[in-house]
A and B are shown apart, each in its own frame.
Chain A
Amino acid sequence: MRSIRRQLTVRLLVGTLAVALGAELGLFLYLRDELAEQLDVALLAKARALGSMVQVSPDGTLDFELSERAMPEFAQAEHPEYFQVWRADGSVFQRSESLAGGDLPLPPPEPGGHRKRFFDMPAADGRVVRAVATRVRPTPDADAWVPDTPAAAIAPPASPAGAEPPPLTIMLAMDREELDETVAHMGWGLLAIAGGIAGGVTLVVTAVVRRGLAPLRELGEAAARIDSETLAYRFRTDDVPEELKPICLRLNDLLARMEETLVRARRFTADVAHELRTPLAELRLLAEVVLKWPMADAEASARNYGDVLAIARRMEGVVASLLSLVRCQSVDASCNLVTLDLRDVVADAWRGHSSEAGRRALTVDVDVPDGLAVRGDRGMLGSMFGNLFGNAVAYAPAGGRVTCVARAERAPADESRVVLTLENDNPGLGEDDLAHLWEPFWRKDAARSDAEHCGLGLALVKAYVRAMSIGLAVELTRSKKFRITVSFPDTRDDPAARRTTTELSRQDGTGAAAQATLLASASGRAAEPAAVASASGPAARV
């Protein structure tokens, strides 16, 4: 498994050590070259000093006087520092005693004509020595030679007397063992320092990374402890690093949402279970009673079967409502939006409740003008109004009034919309109840003794309006009437709406009136009701 701490530690260690080792290597090479250069400078200076000791007599003979006091090393046999001087014709002019009779190879002429050349070469004993070869022109006096004169400018050695003497080649060699030892010691020292740096960096990086990532580790451990039973946990945000603060805030937000969702899901599940328990208990008890005390008469059997059927229908209704709710609430809920005549939709939905309204002696006023085009899914709209009308009829007090009015209205931003208002008496409903109306299984009557309603109707209505992007609002009027307002968005830009309106008008033979209503609403004038139906109970019609 990838570990940020491990990766960070390894990368920091590798990076830091690479930088440190690179710096040490650079330092080592610099010091090594510097030491070698200093050796070369010392060699060259000494070679030049030796060159200055070559004197030319007036008869042209060369003389070399070595100052043993100044350079005693050359007078010692087998001293690791020695020189040899060649005449211009390549013959050996002088050797140091430290050469112990040995012979140095005459260095080839320097390419480019430079007078000095540094190089390493093997000594007779096999060791590597550092050498410099340079050409000097002996002069009668010490200031006569010009060390840096280009080779081309130097006259050949066989020049006549009185002309410039031919140049001599001096090779000075020095055992570089001391230098190599110094370089080696320096290298080992730097390597030891690198080891120390590596150890120190390892400790520091490990500690720093561990300490630096501690808040992240604590966050991870806290997150790992969270399960479905501990969703109430919240991450601390007051003393966490700035980089983690947004994560903690976001996690807290997600936890709050998950907790709310879980609570809602549990409540929903409990509600579903509760809603099905009572009919299940009825069904089971009915079966057990009949089995324990069989009833001989056909009337009792028929009554029992009727009960079974009623219970099954009730459970079927609950399950169907639940399935509809789940379908509507799912992300991929699709609805087939078409343009419909609101009057037809309302009439179809009302049909299923008119008899119950009559039974309860309700006064029903339905005022939906002809030709009001609305956009929605035919099935969803029918179910939505069916639920709304069913609630209005069920919860209005017997002998009360239910009013349904639809109008085309001008909305803000110069848009036209269709607004339907459903109003009924509902003395049992309070302001506090309005917030709970859309909750699945919520019922004002906590006893749930109403076997006809399971409390999913308005939850379904909410799901429908969301799916169809329809506006919905509820309120309690000053006269304590419960009012639901359904707002349909503007359909003027919808060519299907215009076509449907025309078709509807043609079919109904009320084209002029219907179009007049739509035009009036579109232009913002108050639309006169095209039709007002007021009836009581079964006679109610749109």
Chain B
Amino acid sequence: LPRQSIPNPEHRTAATVLVVEDEALLRVSLVDILRDEGFGVVEAASAHEAITILQTTTPVDIVMTDVRMPGTIDGVGLARFIRAHRPTLKIIMTSGNLVASPAGCPVDRFIRKPYGATDVVRLIRSLSAHGETQVRRCDER
């Protein structure tokens, strides 16, 4: 499909997104779109990889993570790690099985799979435009 850029030059290169997704083709597609839209992108195939990245000096502004992932830590565990160790990071959680983030999971936004490229780009832009993290719990919605 032809790619249509979402014009919003003031936000280009504004944020670096850590994409945490264990489905390779989905991850490849998403990071490609985000790079084309001007975001910095770092990718991880598991929550464990994401934590490894977050423990370095790699600049990350937003973490977009799936809920269900293989390994000992899922997206919920990753979100809790982030809130404990990198509380200023913004978190977008995504799932194809849930309609909202799990109870008590401290995320900023939730987007259900399948999602459109436009929707996720717009969501990331809106988050990167906010100065402060607004933590939402699913039971607050």
The answer to whether A and B belong to the same complex is: no
Which of B's residues lie within 8 Å of A, judged by CB? none
